[in-house]
Amino acid sequence: MRSDSRLERVLRAGHFAITAELLSPDSADPQAVVDHASVLGDSCDAINATDASGASVHMSNVAVAALLRQAGYDAVVQMACRDRNRIAMQGDLLGAAALGVQNVLCLTGDGVGTGDHPESKPVFDMDSITLLRTARILRDKGHFLSGRTIDSPPKLFLGGASNPFAPPYDFRPLRLKKKIEAGADFIQTQYCFDVPRLRTFMERVRDMGLDKRVFILVGVGPLRSARAALWMRENVPGVVIPDRLVRRLTDAGKRSQTEGKRICVEIIEEIKEIPGVAGIHMMAYRQEHLVPEILDEVGLLPRPQVGDDMPEPISDPVQTAIS
Protein backbone atom coordinates (compact mmCIF):
# COMPACT_ATOMS: atom_id res chain seq x y z
CA MET A 1 0.00 0.00 0.00
CA ARG A 2 1.31 3.39 -1.02
CA SER A 3 -1.58 5.34 0.47
CA ASP A 4 -4.82 4.97 2.37
CA SER A 5 -6.99 5.79 -0.65
CA ARG A 6 -10.11 3.82 -1.45
CA LEU A 7 -9.00 3.53 -5.09
CA GLU A 8 -5.79 1.77 -4.14
CA ARG A 9 -7.59 -0.56 -1.74
CA VAL A 10 -10.17 -1.52 -4.38
CA LEU A 11 -7.47 -2.27 -6.94
CA ARG A 12 -5.20 -4.21 -4.58
CA ALA A 13 -8.20 -6.25 -3.41
CA GLY A 14 -8.64 -7.40 -7.01
CA HIS A 15 -11.93 -5.63 -7.73
CA PHE A 16 -12.71 -4.12 -11.13
CA ALA A 17 -12.28 -0.43 -10.30
CA ILE A 18 -14.24 2.56 -11.56
CA THR A 19 -13.10 6.16 -11.64
CA ALA A 20 -15.05 9.04 -13.14
CA GLU A 21 -14.06 12.49 -14.34
CA LEU A 22 -15.56 15.66 -12.93
CA LEU A 23 -14.87 18.78 -14.99
CA SER A 24 -13.87 21.51 -12.57
CA PRO A 25 -16.60 24.19 -12.54
CA ASP A 26 -16.41 27.77 -13.74
CA SER A 27 -17.42 28.99 -10.32
CA ALA A 28 -16.11 30.01 -6.91
CA ASP A 29 -19.07 28.26 -5.26
CA PRO A 30 -18.05 25.00 -3.53
CA GLN A 31 -21.63 23.77 -3.88
CA ALA A 32 -21.05 23.43 -7.62
CA VAL A 33 -18.44 20.75 -6.94
CA VAL A 34 -20.62 18.89 -4.45
CA ASP A 35 -23.65 18.96 -6.79
CA HIS A 36 -21.70 17.52 -9.72
CA ALA A 37 -20.02 14.91 -7.54
CA SER A 38 -23.29 13.69 -6.03
CA VAL A 39 -24.32 12.29 -9.43
CA LEU A 40 -21.14 10.20 -9.64
CA GLY A 41 -20.18 9.48 -6.04
CA ASP A 42 -22.06 6.26 -5.33
CA SER A 43 -21.17 4.82 -8.74
CA CYS A 44 -17.38 4.98 -8.65
CA ASP A 45 -14.38 4.41 -6.41
CA ALA A 46 -12.75 7.79 -7.01
CA ILE A 47 -13.51 11.03 -8.84
CA ASN A 48 -10.93 12.86 -10.96
CA ALA A 49 -10.46 16.60 -10.44
CA THR A 50 -9.16 17.98 -13.73
CA ASP A 51 -6.36 20.54 -14.05
CA ALA A 52 -7.46 23.29 -16.45
CA SER A 53 -8.44 20.64 -18.99
CA GLY A 54 -8.12 21.66 -22.60
CA ALA A 55 -5.89 24.51 -21.38
CA SER A 56 -9.01 26.44 -20.33
CA VAL A 57 -9.54 28.12 -16.96
CA HIS A 58 -11.64 26.31 -14.33
CA MET A 59 -11.61 26.04 -10.52
CA SER A 60 -8.27 24.89 -9.09
CA ASN A 61 -7.65 21.15 -9.32
CA VAL A 62 -6.37 20.90 -5.73
CA ALA A 63 -9.35 22.87 -4.43
CA VAL A 64 -11.83 20.64 -6.26
CA ALA A 65 -10.09 17.49 -5.02
CA ALA A 66 -10.11 18.80 -1.44
CA LEU A 67 -13.83 19.61 -1.68
CA LEU A 68 -14.47 16.09 -2.96
CA ARG A 69 -12.63 14.62 0.02
CA GLN A 70 -14.52 16.86 2.44
CA ALA A 71 -17.76 15.59 0.91
CA GLY A 72 -16.67 11.99 1.59
CA TYR A 73 -15.47 10.96 -1.87
CA ASP A 74 -12.07 9.61 -2.82
CA ALA A 75 -10.40 11.98 -5.26
CA VAL A 76 -7.79 11.74 -8.01
CA VAL A 77 -6.13 15.10 -8.47
CA GLN A 78 -4.85 15.61 -12.00
CA MET A 79 -1.64 17.62 -12.22
CA ALA A 80 -0.48 19.00 -15.57
CA CYS A 81 3.01 20.37 -16.14
CA ARG A 82 1.83 23.11 -18.49
CA ASP A 83 1.26 25.86 -15.94
CA ARG A 84 3.63 25.30 -13.00
CA ASN A 85 7.35 24.76 -12.51
CA ARG A 86 8.94 22.14 -10.26
CA ILE A 87 8.81 24.42 -7.21
CA ALA A 88 5.04 24.86 -7.48
CA MET A 89 4.42 21.23 -8.44
CA GLN A 90 6.24 19.87 -5.38
CA GLY A 91 4.32 22.29 -3.18
CA ASP A 92 1.01 21.18 -4.71
CA LEU A 93 1.85 17.52 -4.14
CA LEU A 94 2.44 18.21 -0.44
CA GLY A 95 -0.63 20.44 -0.24
CA ALA A 96 -2.92 17.87 -1.85
CA ALA A 97 -1.70 15.15 0.52
CA ALA A 98 -2.17 17.47 3.51
CA LEU A 99 -5.80 17.94 2.43
CA GLY A 100 -6.37 14.18 2.29
CA VAL A 101 -5.97 13.76 -1.47
CA GLN A 102 -3.71 10.77 -2.06
CA ASN A 103 -4.33 9.78 -5.69
CA VAL A 104 -2.36 11.86 -8.20
CA LEU A 105 -2.57 11.60 -12.00
CA CYS A 106 0.61 13.05 -13.54
CA LEU A 107 0.10 14.65 -16.96
CA THR A 108 2.18 16.72 -19.34
CA GLY A 109 -0.91 18.76 -20.27
CA ASP A 110 -2.42 20.21 -23.42
CA GLY A 111 -0.64 23.11 -25.09
CA VAL A 112 -1.95 26.60 -24.34
CA GLY A 113 -2.90 27.07 -27.99
CA THR A 114 -5.84 24.68 -27.57
CA GLY A 115 -7.48 26.66 -24.77
CA ASP A 116 -9.20 29.96 -24.02
CA HIS A 117 -5.98 31.84 -23.17
CA PRO A 118 -3.70 31.11 -26.15
CA GLU A 119 -1.58 34.16 -25.28
CA SER A 120 -0.48 32.51 -22.02
CA LYS A 121 3.15 31.55 -21.52
CA PRO A 122 3.50 27.77 -21.12
CA VAL A 123 5.85 26.43 -18.45
CA PHE A 124 6.53 22.73 -19.15
CA ASP A 125 9.43 22.75 -16.72
CA MET A 126 8.76 19.00 -16.45
CA ASP A 127 6.84 16.40 -18.42
CA SER A 128 4.60 13.64 -17.06
CA ILE A 129 7.45 11.16 -16.59
CA THR A 130 9.61 13.71 -14.74
CA LEU A 131 6.63 14.60 -12.55
CA LEU A 132 6.08 10.92 -11.73
CA ARG A 133 9.74 10.56 -10.74
CA THR A 134 9.48 13.72 -8.62
CA ALA A 135 6.36 12.53 -6.80
CA ARG A 136 7.99 9.16 -6.14
CA ILE A 137 11.08 10.86 -4.68
CA LEU A 138 8.90 12.94 -2.34
CA ARG A 139 6.99 9.83 -1.26
CA ASP A 140 9.72 7.17 -1.10
CA LYS A 141 12.89 9.16 -0.43
CA GLY A 142 11.36 11.84 1.77
CA HIS A 143 13.14 14.80 0.22
CA PHE A 144 12.60 17.50 -2.39
CA LEU A 145 14.46 17.56 -5.70
CA SER A 146 16.85 20.01 -4.04
CA GLY A 147 17.76 17.32 -1.52
CA ARG A 148 16.12 19.09 1.41
CA THR A 149 14.38 16.69 3.79
CA ILE A 150 10.58 16.62 4.05
CA ASP A 151 9.39 16.51 7.66
CA SER A 152 6.40 14.29 6.81
CA PRO A 153 6.50 12.68 3.32
CA PRO A 154 3.20 12.46 1.42
CA LYS A 155 1.37 9.13 1.05
CA LEU A 156 0.56 9.03 -2.65
CA PHE A 157 -0.92 6.55 -5.13
CA LEU A 158 0.62 7.70 -8.40
CA GLY A 159 -1.00 7.53 -11.81
CA GLY A 160 -0.13 8.27 -15.40
CA ALA A 161 -1.98 8.46 -18.70
CA SER A 162 -1.71 6.31 -21.80
CA ASN A 163 -3.22 6.44 -25.28
CA PRO A 164 -3.16 3.02 -27.01
CA PHE A 165 -5.38 4.32 -29.81
CA ALA A 166 -3.12 6.81 -31.56
CA PRO A 167 0.00 6.05 -33.62
CA PRO A 168 2.79 5.12 -33.33
CA TYR A 169 1.12 2.00 -31.89
CA ASP A 170 4.35 0.06 -31.29
CA PHE A 171 5.66 2.90 -29.13
CA ARG A 172 2.68 2.95 -26.71
CA PRO A 173 3.66 -0.09 -24.58
CA LEU A 174 7.24 1.21 -24.42
CA ARG A 175 5.97 4.60 -23.24
CA LEU A 176 3.84 2.81 -20.65
CA LYS A 177 6.91 0.95 -19.39
CA LYS A 178 8.77 4.25 -18.94
CA LYS A 179 5.92 5.60 -16.82
CA ILE A 180 5.87 2.47 -14.68
CA GLU A 181 9.62 2.75 -14.14
CA ALA A 182 9.17 6.42 -13.25
CA GLY A 183 6.70 5.51 -10.50
CA ALA A 184 3.21 4.96 -11.92
CA ASP A 185 1.04 2.69 -9.76
CA PHE A 186 -2.03 3.03 -11.98
CA ILE A 187 -2.84 4.18 -15.51
CA GLN A 188 -5.90 5.86 -16.98
CA THR A 189 -6.19 5.69 -20.77
CA GLN A 190 -7.71 7.98 -23.36
CA TYR A 191 -11.25 7.17 -24.55
CA CYS A 192 -11.56 3.67 -25.98
CA PHE A 193 -13.79 3.46 -29.04
CA ASP A 194 -11.61 0.89 -30.82
CA VAL A 195 -11.65 -2.34 -28.78
CA PRO A 196 -9.61 -4.38 -31.30
CA ARG A 197 -6.81 -1.82 -30.99
CA LEU A 198 -7.04 -2.07 -27.19
CA ARG A 199 -6.78 -5.87 -27.38
CA THR A 200 -3.62 -5.59 -29.47
CA PHE A 201 -2.14 -3.10 -27.02
CA MET A 202 -2.98 -5.29 -24.03
CA GLU A 203 -1.45 -8.37 -25.69
CA ARG A 204 1.84 -6.51 -25.92
CA VAL A 205 1.43 -5.20 -22.36
CA ARG A 206 0.98 -8.76 -21.09
CA ASP A 207 3.91 -10.03 -23.17
CA MET A 208 6.09 -7.42 -21.46
CA GLY A 209 4.69 -8.30 -18.03
CA LEU A 210 3.50 -4.74 -17.49
CA ASP A 211 0.00 -5.78 -16.40
CA LYS A 212 1.66 -7.28 -13.29
CA ARG A 213 3.35 -4.00 -12.45
CA VAL A 214 0.57 -1.43 -12.89
CA PHE A 215 -3.23 -1.19 -12.69
CA ILE A 216 -4.70 -0.19 -16.06
CA LEU A 217 -8.07 1.62 -16.17
CA VAL A 218 -9.46 2.08 -19.69
CA GLY A 219 -11.19 5.34 -20.58
CA VAL A 220 -14.82 5.06 -21.71
CA GLY A 221 -17.78 7.37 -22.15
CA PRO A 222 -21.11 7.81 -23.98
CA LEU A 223 -21.27 9.76 -27.23
CA ARG A 224 -24.18 12.20 -27.42
CA SER A 225 -24.53 12.37 -31.21
CA ALA A 226 -22.72 11.93 -34.50
CA ARG A 227 -21.97 15.65 -34.48
CA ALA A 228 -20.43 15.42 -31.00
CA ALA A 229 -18.37 12.40 -32.07
CA LEU A 230 -17.01 14.25 -35.10
CA TRP A 231 -16.20 17.29 -32.97
CA MET A 232 -14.31 15.17 -30.45
CA ARG A 233 -12.41 13.40 -33.19
CA GLU A 234 -11.30 16.70 -34.69
CA ASN A 235 -10.71 18.77 -31.57
CA VAL A 236 -9.79 16.56 -28.59
CA PRO A 237 -6.13 15.49 -28.81
CA GLY A 238 -5.66 11.73 -28.97
CA VAL A 239 -9.33 10.75 -29.39
CA VAL A 240 -9.90 8.20 -32.18
CA ILE A 241 -13.52 7.39 -33.12
CA PRO A 242 -14.03 4.87 -35.98
CA ASP A 243 -16.33 5.81 -38.83
CA ARG A 244 -18.57 2.80 -38.08
CA LEU A 245 -19.56 4.33 -34.74
CA VAL A 246 -20.27 7.70 -36.32
CA ARG A 247 -22.54 5.94 -38.84
CA ARG A 248 -24.41 4.17 -36.02
CA LEU A 249 -25.05 7.50 -34.33
CA THR A 250 -26.10 9.11 -37.61
CA ASP A 251 -28.52 6.28 -38.42
CA ALA A 252 -30.03 6.55 -34.93
CA GLY A 253 -31.26 10.07 -35.67
CA LYS A 254 -33.17 11.53 -32.71
CA ARG A 255 -32.27 8.47 -30.65
CA SER A 256 -28.54 9.13 -31.01
CA GLN A 257 -28.02 9.69 -27.26
CA THR A 258 -29.62 6.32 -26.50
CA GLU A 259 -27.44 4.73 -29.18
CA GLY A 260 -24.36 6.41 -27.70
CA LYS A 261 -25.21 4.91 -24.34
CA ARG A 262 -25.68 1.49 -25.97
CA ILE A 263 -22.26 1.77 -27.65
CA CYS A 264 -20.65 2.61 -24.30
CA VAL A 265 -22.29 -0.41 -22.64
CA GLU A 266 -21.08 -2.70 -25.44
CA ILE A 267 -17.52 -1.37 -25.16
CA ILE A 268 -17.42 -1.84 -21.39
CA GLU A 269 -18.72 -5.40 -21.71
CA GLU A 270 -15.85 -6.18 -24.09
CA ILE A 271 -13.25 -4.39 -21.97
CA LYS A 272 -14.23 -6.38 -18.87
CA GLU A 273 -13.18 -9.58 -20.62
CA ILE A 274 -9.69 -8.40 -21.63
CA PRO A 275 -6.97 -9.90 -19.37
CA GLY A 276 -4.87 -7.30 -17.61
CA VAL A 277 -7.50 -4.55 -17.52
CA ALA A 278 -8.08 -3.53 -13.90
CA GLY A 279 -10.99 -1.13 -14.38
CA ILE A 280 -12.51 1.71 -16.36
CA HIS A 281 -12.34 5.50 -16.22
CA MET A 282 -15.71 7.09 -17.04
CA MET A 283 -15.71 10.40 -18.95
CA ALA A 284 -19.26 11.61 -19.55
CA TYR A 285 -19.06 15.37 -19.97
CA ARG A 286 -22.55 16.86 -19.51
CA GLN A 287 -23.97 13.33 -19.48
CA GLU A 288 -22.98 12.46 -15.91
CA HIS A 289 -26.54 11.31 -15.18
CA LEU A 290 -25.98 8.37 -17.55
CA VAL A 291 -23.01 7.01 -15.60
CA PRO A 292 -25.01 5.14 -12.91
CA GLU A 293 -27.37 3.74 -15.58
CA ILE A 294 -24.47 2.47 -17.70
CA LEU A 295 -22.61 0.92 -14.76
CA ASP A 296 -25.75 -0.75 -13.45
CA GLU A 297 -26.46 -2.21 -16.89
CA VAL A 298 -22.99 -3.78 -17.10
CA GLY A 299 -23.25 -5.21 -13.58
CA LEU A 300 -20.70 -2.99 -11.87
CA LEU A 301 -23.00 -1.63 -9.16
CA PRO A 302 -23.06 -1.50 -6.22
CA ARG A 303 -19.40 -0.80 -5.60
CA PRO A 304 -17.51 -3.11 -3.21
CA GLN A 305 -16.68 -2.32 0.39
CA VAL A 306 -12.96 -2.68 1.08
CA GLY A 307 -11.66 -2.74 4.64
CA ASP A 308 -11.99 0.63 6.32
CA ASP A 309 -13.94 2.44 3.65
CA MET A 310 -13.92 6.18 3.04
CA PRO A 311 -15.03 8.31 6.00
CA GLU A 312 -18.62 9.41 6.20
CA PRO A 313 -19.34 12.74 4.45
CA ILE A 314 -19.25 15.64 6.87
CA SER A 315 -22.65 17.12 7.65
CA ASP A 316 -22.10 20.24 5.56
CA PRO A 317 -18.98 20.05 3.38
CA VAL A 318 -19.71 23.37 1.68
CA GLN A 319 -20.03 25.27 4.95
CA THR A 320 -16.86 23.62 6.24
CA ALA A 321 -14.99 24.66 3.08
CA ILE A 322 -16.21 28.24 3.47
CA SER A 323 -15.37 28.43 7.17
Residues whose CB is less than 8 angstroms from the CB of residue 162 and which lie 6 or more positions away in sequence, other chains included: 172, 175, 176, 179, 187, 188, 189, 190, 216
The residues, any chain, with a CB within 8 Å of residue 64's CB and separated by 6 or more, are 22, 24, 25, 33, 49, 50, 75, 77
DSSP single-letter state for residue 264: H
Distance CA 106, CA 224 (A): 28
User: Which domains, and CATH codes, for the chain?
Assistant: 6-222+276-299 (3.20.20.220)
Q: Which residues of 145-159 are buried (b: 16+ CB within 10 A; e: fewer)?
A: eeeeeeeebbebbbb
Q: Kindly report which listed range (170-184, 190-204, 230-244, 273-287) carries the lowest average pLDDT score.
A: 230-244
CB atoms within 10 A of CB 31: 15
Question: Around Cβ 160, how many Cβ atoms within 10 Å?
Answer: 26
pLDDT at 235 over 90: no
Give the tens place of pLDDT for each residue, 65-95: 999 999 999 999 999 999 999 999 999 999 9
CA distance 93 to 130: 14
Q: Closest Cα to residue 220, out of 277, 279, 166, 264?
A: 264
Cα gap 200→193, rounded to integer Å: 14
pLDDT over 80 (residue 204): yes
Split at pLDDT 50, 70, 90, the class of 309 is low
How many angstroms separate the CA atoms of 233 and 248, rounded? 15
Q: Taking the complete model, does pTM exceed 0.85, yes or no?
A: yes
**Helix/strand number for the chain, H first, E second:** 12, 8
Alpha helices in 17-85 (DSSP H): 30-40, 61-70
Residues 6+ apart with CB under 8 A from 58: 23, 24, 25, 26, 50, 52
pLDDT tens figures, 124-157: 999 999 999 999 999 999 999 999 999 999 999 9
- Give me the chain's average pLDDT, please: 94
